[in-house]
Amino acid sequence: MEKIDKTNKKLFYSIKEVASIINVNESTIRFWEKNFKQLNPSKNDNGVRVFKTKDIEVLKMIYHLTKEKKLTLEGANNELNKNKSNIEKETIIIDKLTKLKATLIDIRDNLK
């Protein structure tokens, strides 16, 4: 999963950009939007979904619960409703560890 650059002044992301960041299909994002009330992206004047950084963070949590922890949609919804702050912390840690792993792999590859 890509990390969102906090220095980026971009306010809205397209569904295509978000799918790339989360590493899922656009249809998966639409499906999750229908099944998770916590995810409610805005729509522009043309009715096109636009995602804010907070929407992307919710998507990362949903991804973590459904893809990594293998919870059902109902289970993931329950977890988000009960333990959102803990899940948020978990996804932040996972993002940091993923970035660290990529850095270590890069260092290893440059030593060869």
Buried residues in 71-80 as b, exposed as e (16+ CB within 10 A):
beeeebbebb
**What are the tens digits of pLDDT across the range 13-53?**
999 999 999 999 999 999 999 999 999 999 999 999 999 99
Length of the chain: 112
Domains of the chain are 15-111 (1.10.1660.10)
The pLDDT of residue 112 is 75
